[in-house]
Chains A and B, each alone.
Chain A
């Protein structure tokens, strides 16, 4: 059974870069056609998709965050990472990593079927 676990600093200073890692256990990330995503949740904006990276290459980012976001995968460690630069208080949220599955039946469907427990990140000086 696949499990995901986020890790990283819980406090980041304004204007700095937020860096989080998601460790994937129970199955190699390279097995199957999955995308690896980051989502965040704040009281003010609800659930917000940040971006995804396809195991076979290619990334998509939320246009509202695209200029500040980088997602990368390290298959040797079976983990993927999020970097969000120039953070402000508005980036304070619970950050989740998730596995995004794809289903091809009369179209290509995507859904997040496995989630990490989430990690709280506060942006404050």
Chain B
């Protein structure tokens, strides 16, 4: 299986900050990466797919990049509703997820 390693595991930030989360895969997966946001007691919600595309419901302050084995999720102008846990996921079967990055308030 393809392993995904996210860094950092957690971070503290302030409203208005720019935050970048990294996801490294154990093998080259082109751009077959998705990103999800999860809040406590809720299911994950899709933020980014195919590394850099975003669904219509996702706020434009979220952006994704990278290819091969290194990917990033960037949040510009962090808002209070963005404090959550973020997961990357690779979309080559079997689908696997990173261990998550928790973003909390500084």
Which residues of A are interface residues toward B (Cβ below 8 A)?
46-49, 60-64, 96, 98, 103, 105, 107, 109-113, 115-118
Q: Is the CB of B46 within 8 A of A112?
A: yes
- Quick check: is B32 within 8 A (CB to CB) of the other chain? yes
5 nearest CB pairs, A to B: A111-B49, A115-B43, A47-B97, A49-B95, A110-B91
Q: Is the CB of B50 within 8 A of A113?
A: no
Q: Given A105-B50, A107-B30, A111-B34, A47 and B44 touching (CB < 8 A)?
A: yes
Q: Given A96-B43, A103-B50, A109-B50, A46 and B97 touching (CB < 8 A)?
A: yes
Which residue in B45, B50, B93 is a CB contact (below 8 Å) of A115?
A: B45
Q: At the interface, is chain A mostly helix, strand, loop or mixed?
A: strand
**Residues of B within 8 A of A (CB-CB), count:** 24
Q: Is the CB of A111 within 8 A of B99?
A: no
Residues of B within 8 A of A107 (CB): 30, 32
State A96–B93 Cα separation when bound (angstroms).
18
- Quick check: is B55 within 8 A (CB to CB) of the other chain? yes
Residues of B within 8 A of A103 (CB): 49-50, 53
- Quick check: is B96 within 8 A (CB to CB) of the other chain? yes
- Quick check: is B94 within 8 A (CB to CB) of the other chain? yes
Shortest distance between the CB of A31 and any CB in chain B (Å)? 18
- Quick check: is B42 within 8 A (CB to CB) of the other chain? yes
Q: Given A107-B32, A109-B32, A111-B34, A49 and B94 touching (CB < 8 A)?
A: yes
5 example contacts (A-B, Cβ-Cβ < 8 A) are as follows A103-B53, A109-B49, A112-B34, A113-B49, A113-B55
